[in-house]
Each structure stands twice: as structure tokens, then as C-alpha cells.
Structure 1
């Protein structure tokens, strides 16, 4: 009997950076308030009194930032041989893409991130192998659905995979998994 490949989870690096930002934001706000108080010749007691007055609001703000950071830190792209979706703590949070709903899986430069587009305009490629190497690191992967009715634009947006959002070590694994099980083809635009 042929063994099925296991589920692969890929953390989204850009969301991990956002999570760090959301943890540092309350600390930065507290530092700014403290610095403004000291530059206006306020005593430490007056500054701490202000913090006590803002206590409930600041605690709610801090807890909100930390909650957002925890969710972003645990966001993962899950790729199985039959389904692709984003999840937090193994709870799917986006539309799942089923393999039987897909007509084609390809790169599409129309949906590339602005940074990818700018690098493509500035960088010179000596050969097609250099262009292929660039595409395997930076492009957007699009899934073309079989359905005849107009596709839900939100579902189409969630079905795009921006390779630039993932760490270098995971990009190759994502492309390899999609080539092996989802028939990813690197189509060239005419």
C-alpha cells in the first residue's frame, strides 16, 4: 500500500515580524509617554500618576496588542496533498482549497507584491535559469478554479500564495510540495 505524505505546516515570516511589532508597540507607547513627561519637567510621581489614571485603557490596549501578536505568531500555511488553508492552532481561518476544485496551479505576475515587481524591473537576468531561481523565491502562486460561475473575489484573494511572505528555508519546500502534489507549473507570460 502506498503511504500518503504527511501534512506540512509553514509559518508565515511576515506575520511573525508583525507579531514582534505588536509586542513592542505598548512598550514604545509607554516610553514615549514617559519621555514626554520628563521633557516637560514633570516629576516621576506625576508621570506615574498619569499611568495610574490611564491604567485600564493602557491594560486593555496592551492585552489587545499581545492577543493580536499571539494570533499572528501562530498563523501557519497548511499544505496537504488534498487541501491548502491557513490556520491558527490547527483551526482553519480561511477558505480551504480542495484539490478537486483546482484546474491549474501556476505563477502569476499580475498578483506579485510591490517589492517583487520593483525587483523584477531593476534586476537584470543573465539567463532563464536566473529568472527561474528568482521566481521560485519571490513570485505569487495562483490557483485557477474549475467552477463555471464567477468566483468569489475574497476566496480568490485567499487562494494566492505570496512566496515573499515566507522564510527562505520554507519557500523551496512550498514550491516542491506544490510541484509534487498540486501540479504547479511555472508558466511564462507571453
Structure 2
């Protein structure tokens, strides 16, 4: 089987990819599986595509294996698309308080904004780099609304505030459905299609 390095130690991402590529000729491995530590990559691109490509190329060069990396974020219409590519580090916090502080900042900035103007979307871009070149880039988007209080125990990041009217649930409350309709699921589906024709 051909090995592809996943440039992340996130178990949820690994599980999603493995599930999707289960019937393919590819075996997804992590840096941990290989006993290596991936280099830190400065995400200074101006788009998700640039940041994901920068990581994939760095991990490909470092490991010698085809490498997958992704970049994702939340874009809130009432905030002119913020936090966007800065979603993870928006509040300036790191570590275990990061999500809490990011969500706090989001709620503060949207105070007084009516429900119908709290529209937003999650975006995910996935890139595959092989032999020093970007071979695949896919993008997935999922629209929703930012509610006024945290709901649900699942997910991570902004999930407890990201509400999908169609399901009457936040991303943090959705279970199986999320793995089919999320921005990452959409980007992964497109990725699978492109990988099979590569």
C-alpha cells in the first residue's frame, strides 16, 4: 500500500481520512506512526490554500512521503469574514483556553446583532503535496448561524456556537450527520475523487 503522511496528530482528522480512504490503495500514517516530529510551519499565507500548501510541501520535503495538510476557519458575515484564516489564534490565547477565549471574543463582537444577520460559514481546504509539488487542492464550505450561547458537548473550537437551522442543532450537538455535511467532509469527499483519478 502507498503511504500518505497526514500532517496532523488530530485523531478526528485521522479517523475521517481513514474511513474515507478505507477502500483505496492508500495507507494514512502520522508523524507519530513514523517516529518523527514534524517541523513547525509558520502559517503566514493570506488564504487557506496558501497555508495548507505551505504545510503540505514542508511535510512532504521533510518526510519524503506524499503529505496531506489542511487549513480551516470560520467566516462571519457581520464581521466582514473574520476570523477567517486567523480562527485558531484569533483571541491570542494558546493551549486549553484557546477555544473558550475565541468563543468569548466572537460572542462579544456579535452582541446585539439579530439572528438573521449572524450568518457564517466554516471553510476547509485540503492539499496533497507529492515530490515537492502541490498535486491536489480541494475546498469545502458549510453555512450556518452563530447563536448567542454555547450548546453541545461534542466537536471543538467554534462548534458549540455554529448552528444549523435545518437540523436545529449546533455542530457540537450533531454526531453522525456532521461527518457527512461539514466543511471538512465536503473537502474530503472532493479530495477522495481527485485522489482516485490522480
Q: Do both proteins adopt the same fold according to a TM-score greater than 0.5, normalized to the shorter chain? A: no
Structure with the largest fraction of helix = 1
Greater share of residues in strand: 2
Q: Which has the larger radius of gyration?
A: 1
TM range (shorter): under 0.3
